[in-house]
Every structure is written in structure tokens, then in C-alpha cells.
């Protein structure tokens, strides 16, 4: 059975002290009340090494929100996959729409990042999703297919099996507008069908596909009840332990 996951994406929020406090609170909460799913927190780079010191990674996986598309060298300000791994983190989010849009990350750049992340034994949470304009033009399937083909369908079956996909309609991220459970299920099922076409049904059945976009405790149960939605990638609602726990508890 494929893994159910609730992953938090802290984005550029919280200084080191506040980040440590949140991770500690979550760690204690989930140790006392064990989740029925995998839980991951993806934090700014600067938090990783400190949080890795105390986080019980059997219960909460730790990840970065990005890594460089180069192995090492004269790339001022960049952080490599190897550096991320050396902090004790296990995951990395790649392909987030904010990085595609604001930092002009192309499918080719993301393909390099995925290869380097996997080379350094990081589990990739790979984000895909259409803009409002693309949804209104009925192009959502085309867009997600091109994003998968552009950056991860080059992987061997063995390596593709290590990827977690996050479907995040851009129009639902941070806007308070959630895709309906039916809208999300429709495209999740489509994503699974193209994975089946490429790698076979067994791989598709084992691939975890998360939904992201204004997911919160109130709508998570309905979304997670859908057969092809295996959890969530959570932005805003991952910044408070109680809100994040409310989403995790949707699997109970
Ligand atoms: C995200 O950015 O990955 C996300 C899903 O954000 P939010 O939950 O705030 O919409």
C-alpha cells in the first residue's frame, strides 16, 4: 500500500528560534499522539541542522524547500543537495510553483535538481500544478503531464519509485481557495493514469500523490477520503502545531 503523508512547507517564515520552538512542539505532540501517516516538515535551510538534532525522525521526517542545480563550487548563496543531506534532512521539495515563477526554475533546471537530490539520497517531493488561466482554458492535464515529462519521467523505474508527487493548483496556493475534493480527485486520478502509462500500473499504485493548496483541518478529511489523494503538502496551516496536527488527524 502506498504511503500516506502530510508534509509542511514553512516557506520563508520564522526565524531560527521560532522554528525550533515549532518543531519541538510538534515533536512532543506527535510523540504523545502518534500519527496514522507519514509526517514531514520542510523548513528554511538555516533551521535544518538545529532541528535535526532533536527531531524524532521516525515520526517526523525533515526536509529542505529547495536545493541547487549544481553539485558544488562558485555559486554564491546556493545550497547543494549534499549540504542539505549533511544536516540530517531526508527530504527536499522541488518544483514548487513559487520557485518556478519567481526564480524562473525551468523543467531542465528541475531535472538537474532531482538528479542531484537523488544522488545524495534525498527523497524528492516534486510539485506540479496549473495556473488559474490554464485551468480556465481546460489545460490542467496538459500542464501536469508536461511538468512530469520535463523533469521526472526521465528517471528509471527504481528512481521514480522514490518520488512523492504533490499536485498543487497555483490558484489554490495561499489564496484560501481550495480545489473541491472532486476537482482534486479528477486530476490526481489522471496523474496516476499517466504514471501507469509510463511506468506500469504497479508503480502508479505505489506512488504517493499529495494535494496542496489551502488545505486545512476543515477540508482535509473530505480531500483525503478520495481514493487517489494520499495526503497533503501544507503551507500556511503548517505554521502552527495545532493547525498542522488537525490536518494530520484527518487520517485517524
Ligand atoms: C504550498 O505552498 O505548498 C501550499 C500548499 O500553501 P498553502 O497551504 O498555504 O496554500
Task: Give per-residue pLDDT as tens, 96-144.
Answer: 999 999 999 999 999 999 999 999 999 999 999 999 999 999 999 999 9
Does 78 qualify as catalytic in the annotation? Answer: no
Structural domain for 122, as ranges: 3-249
Q: How far is the CA of 236 from the centre of ligand 1 (A)?
A: 6
Distance 172 CA to ligand 1 centre (A): 8
What nine digits make up the cell of 149?
A: 515529462
pLDDT, tens digit, 9 for 90 and up, residues 180-233: 999 999 999 999 999 999 999 999 999 999 999 999 999 999 999 999 999 999
> Chain-wide mean pLDDT for the chain?
97
Nearest CA, atom 2, ligand 1: 235
**Burial status of residue 62 (CB atoms within 10 A of its CB: 0-12, 13-18, 19 or more):** buried
Which atom from ligand 1 is nearest to the alpha carbon of 216?
A: 8
pLDDT in tens, 35-53: 999 999 999 999 999 999 9
Binding residues for substrate: 9-11, 174, 214, 235-236
Region 225-251: mean pLDDT is: 98
The Cα 96–Cα 173 span in angstroms is 10
Cα(186)–Cα(89) distance, rounded to whole angstroms? 33
For ligand 1, say whether the CB of 177 is within 6 Å of any of its atoms. Answer: no
Which of 215, 217, 223, 247 best tests ligand 1's pocket when mutated (most atoms within 8 Å of CB)? 215
Give the CATH number for residue 172.
3.20.20.70
Residue 216 to residue 125: CA distance in whole angstroms: 19
Confirm or reject: Cβ of 235 under 6 Å from ligand 1: yes
pLDDT of residue 6: 98
User: From ligand 1's centre to the CA of 214, what distance in Å?
Assistant: 6
Backbone phi and psi for residue 179, each to the nearest 5 degrees, phi listed first: -65, 145
Count of domains forming the chain:
1
Residue 188 designated active-site: no
By C-alpha distance, which of 158, 226, 221 is closest to 192?
226
Ligand 1 centroid to Cα of residue 44, in Å, is: 15
From residue 68, how far is each of 31, 112, 214, 238 by CA, in Å? 33, 9, 27, 24
pLDDT of the residue at 1: 83
Amino acid at each position: 500500500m502506498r504511503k500516506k503523508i502530510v508534509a509542511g512547507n514553512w516557506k520563508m517564515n520564522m526565524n531560527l528560534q521560532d522554528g525550533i520552538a515549532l518543531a519541538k512542539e510538534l515533536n512532543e505532540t506527535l510523540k504523545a499522539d502518534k500519527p496514522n501517516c507519514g509526517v514531514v516538515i520542510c523548513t528554511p535551510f538555516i533551521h535544518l541542522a538545529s532541528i535535526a538534532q532533536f527531531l524524532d525522525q521516525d515520526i517526523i521526517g525533515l526536509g529542505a524547500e529547495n536545493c541547487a542545480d549544481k553539485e558544488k563550487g562558485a555559486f554564491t548563496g546556493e545550497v547543494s543537495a549534499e549540504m542539505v543531506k549533511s544536516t540530517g534532512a531526508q527530504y527536499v521539495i522541488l518544483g514548487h510553483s513559487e520557485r518556478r515563477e519567481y526564480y524562473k526554475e525551468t523543467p531542465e533546471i528541475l531535472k538537474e535538481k532531482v538528479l542531484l537530490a537523488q544522488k545524495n539520497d534525498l527523497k524528492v517531493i516534486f510539485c506540479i500544478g496549473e495556473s488559474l488561466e490554464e485551468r480556465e482554458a481546460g489545460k490542467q492535464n496538459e500542464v501536469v503531464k508536461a511538468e512530469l515529462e520535463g523533469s521526472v519521467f526521465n528517471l528509471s523505474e527504481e528512481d521514480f519509485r522514490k518520488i512523492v508527487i504533490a499536485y498543487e493548483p497555483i490558484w489554490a496556493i495561499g489564496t484560501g481557495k481550495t480545489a473541491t475534493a472532486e476537482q482534486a480527485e479528477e486530476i490526481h486520478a489522471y496523474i496516476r493514469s499517466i504514471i501507469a502509462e509510463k511506468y506500469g500500473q504497479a508503480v502508479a499504485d505505489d506512488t504517493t500523490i499529495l494535494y496542496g493548496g489551502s488545505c486545512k483541518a476543515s477540508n482535509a478529511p473530505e480531500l483525503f477520503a478520495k481514493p487517489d489523494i494520499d495526503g497533503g503538502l501544507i503551507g500556511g496551516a503548517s505554521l502552527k502545531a495545532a493547525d498542522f496536527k488537525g490536518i494530520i488527524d484527518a487520517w485517524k
